[in-house]
Amino acid sequence: MEKIKLIIDGKEIEAEKGTTILRCAKDNGIEIPTLCYHENVALYGACGICTVEAEGMPKLLRACSQKVQEGMVIHTDSERVKKSRKIALELLMSDHTGDCLGPCRLNCPAGTDCQGYIKLIAEGKFREAVELIKEKLPLPASIGRVCPHPCETACRRQMVEEPISIAYLKAFAADKDLEENTFLPEIGGNTGKKVAIIGGGPAGLTAAYFLRIKGHSVTIFDAMPQMGGMLRYGIPEYRLPKKVLDKEIALIESLGIEMKNNVKIGKDISFGQLRNDFDAVVVAIGAWNSLSVRCKGDNLDGVMGGIDFLQKVALKENIEIGKKVAVVGGGNTAMDAARTARRLGAEEVYVIYRRTKNEMPAEEIEIEEAEEEGIIFKFLTNPDEITGNNGKVNGIKLQVMELGEPDSSGRRSPVAVEGKFENIEVDSVIMAIGQKVNVAGFEDIELNSKGIISADERTFRTNIENVFAVGDATNRGASIAIAAIGEAEKASKVIDGYLLGMEIPYRKPFVSEKEVTPEMFAEKEKLPRAKMPVRSVEERIKSFDEVNLGFREEDAVREASRCLECGCHDYKECKLIEYANWYDIHPERFKGEKNVHETERKLVSIERNNEKCILCSLCVRTCDEVVKKGILGLVGRGFRTTIKPEFEGNEILNFCKECGKCAEVCPTGALKIL
């Protein structure tokens, strides 16, 4: 066979004459993307993704069909090529309708594969479920108990009846793993790089976990007596038993992570020394200072911050709160403080909130359980003055409020009703209206206008070369634990790249999302959401024992089986979405009418979702050229073209059940083997 020489991406190659550019590149380890090519069928050239540029030729060439020529100089990734592929992908995605990922996963700040681990739980594969969860977060038993589960807010099962109990299922699987076959990830080879993590809360522990897995030496420094951050010192025992948190932290430590407690930056060790001693420093110090409403009397004895109060309880310090307690705020911290005060013996606990119950940011279950425990809610009120006697709190004067116009968050702003007040007698006041960062010891780090550490949202880098920052201490301030965990996991990839000499900023991946309506689920059988068994109110208010008693195995499996499996079954193998993420595509540029197709099940053993089909015709050609049956064919012309099966009898139908080769070659998940 005659040989010729050519150059592809600067690499001199010898190839057989008559070989295509695509085959030649592949044989030499150069990947050219393609969606419609398969070596078992004839060339088709439909997708337009495999274009390349040849020097001296005015037009781009399709690598799947263009034969190599002597002396060719080919560029597979020039600006012209990238622009051409980008447009082709945008056109394909503009008519592609489907969910790459379930809305649960998309709404999880950590990107946890909720659909994946729920499916594994439904199959009784609890260890495998935990392995999947720990690809994104290392504290599933703890987070499953305390997360306000934005995943469930997005769950489409609520269009049938109620969302899946995703968070509790996470805790169930993690508890099983802690009791039985504790999963530990493999550690990469030693890189010789050292990382200091400042802060042992959810963000710091997560960053340490993933950086250690990548082979780096990691040390966590924390100012408190034990690791855990707000999971330990900000969330009460009745919601998160510390023995559960201890087990999960011990697992993280067992990976070879050094943990140093009672180390205060600026006192026990300087920030500068850490920057010199370590190749990278991750600041994950959280937001530990409570905000005040700044009303008259807020400095009286008996007034304390919500975080300060919960921290003292966690440290088992003696706290005198009296019999009557007012908690100011409407979030989960306010609920935690109010319910904790009740357990400490307070007979009357008031929650002061300036909006109505409908606007409260606290979890609904937290509000319900607080009401069950006798907490008194004073809605549409706001502290005007805290009164006292001899420097000690004895009451609170409340300004009566009403709702006005919506604020920037969309919630209606509370407005004072002029001249209308209410007074209640209290022995202490707990301010649970927010948190702020204490940056003492970190004076060299640049802050934003709110006094929060400023970190680039794509690289997580601060103004200091080797210093990164994540979690509640950065940019937008305090949020939920899963958000800090998600940020730390993303940052670990960037920091790993930095330590290896690469700049790899985080970029949110492109995914296809489908709009749905309740009518689409009208035929689904209504199945009740599993109820979490809980301790009685009488038991709850007398101790800090965990309120939730946990799912039984059969209840967890049944609950997991309610999942609608919204995300694409082929996401990890989908070539279309892989290539879409090679480029910064914006298919909305070509927004217009979309083809609407019903999901077709005539193939019996294979489900065909034509809304995901890109008409690459691989299934048609495979059925015709490889299987020699020709069951599938293109129907219609132009924009309305689709692929449909045509059966000529039961013999063909039965053959189709056993074949499945069409689904094997589909590059977009349009075909699913049932």
Is there a domain that residue 479 lies in? yes
- Domain count for the chain: 4
Q: What is the mean pLDDT of residues 594-608?
A: 74
Domain span at residue 422? 290-434
CA-based max dimension of the chain: 103
Question: How close are the terminal C-alpha atoms of the chain, in Å?
Answer: 46
Is there a domain that residue 624 lies in? yes
Is there a domain that residue 281 lies in? yes
With a cut of 70, say whether residue 647 has pLDDT above it: no
Domain check: are 442 and 479 in the same one? yes
- Which residues are registered as beta bridge partners of 308? none
With a cut of 80, say whether residue 595 has pLDDT above it: no
Domain check: are 284 and 294 in the same one? no
CA nearest to 70, candidates 16, 23, 10, 32: 16
Q: Three-state DSSP class for 219?
A: strand
pLDDT band, residue 601 (cuts 50/70/90) = low
* 6 vs 120: CA distance, rounded Å: 50
Number of H helices, E strands in the chain: 22, 25
Is there a domain that residue 33 lies in? yes
Domain check: are 430 and 444 in the same one? no
Domain stops at, among 434, 453, 473: 434
Q: What is the mean pLDDT of residues 254-264?
A: 97
Q: Three-state DSSP class for 506?
A: coil
* 432 vs 307: CA distance, rounded Å: 7
Domain check: are 306 and 405 in the same one? yes
- Which residues are registered as beta bridge partners of 196? 219, 281
pLDDT band, residue 634 (cuts 50/70/90) = confident
CA nearest to 300, candidates 380, 392, 221: 392
Is there a domain that residue 71 lies in? yes
Please tell me which residue, 465 or 591, carries the higher pLDDT value: 465
**pLDDT tens column, 45-73:** 888 899 999 999 999 999 999 999 999 99
CA nearest to 417, candidates 401, 428, 433, 404: 401
Domain check: are 294 and 407 in the same one? yes
Domain stops at, among 62, 94, 126: 94
Is there a domain that residue 481 lies in? yes
Domain check: are 430 and 443 in the same one? no
pLDDT of residue 603: 66
Is there a domain that residue 619 lies in? yes
CB-CB contact of 614 with 114 (8 Å): no
- Assign residue 613 the CATH number of its domain: 3.30.70.20
Q: How far is CA 75 from CA 35, 90, 596, 625, in A?
A: 19, 22, 38, 32
Tokens 């039984």 sit on residue: 552
**pLDDT tens column, 304-363:** 999 999 999 999 999 999 999 999 999 999 999 999 999 999 999 999 999 999 999 999
Mean per-residue pLDDT over the chain, rounded: 93
Q: What is the mean pLDDT of residues 632-657?
A: 79
CB-CB contact of 511 with 260 (8 Å): no
Determine which of 449-458, 542-551, 597-606, 620-629 has the lowest per-residue pLDDT on average: 597-606
**pLDDT tens column, 278-316:** 999 999 999 999 988 889 999 999 999 999 999 999 999
* 398 vs 419: CA distance, rounded Å: 11
- Token readout for 65 is 């069909």
Is there a domain that residue 143 lies in? no
Domain check: are 442 and 424 in the same one? no
Domain stops at, among 434, 463, 484: 434
* 155 vs 165: CA distance, rounded Å: 9
pLDDT band, residue 551 (cuts 50/70/90) = very high
CA nearest to 391, candidates 302, 328, 304: 302
Please tell me which residue, 210 or 478, carries the higher pLDDT value: 210
**pLDDT tens column, 365-419:** 999 999 999 999 999 999 999 999 999 999 999 999 999 988 877 778 899 999 9
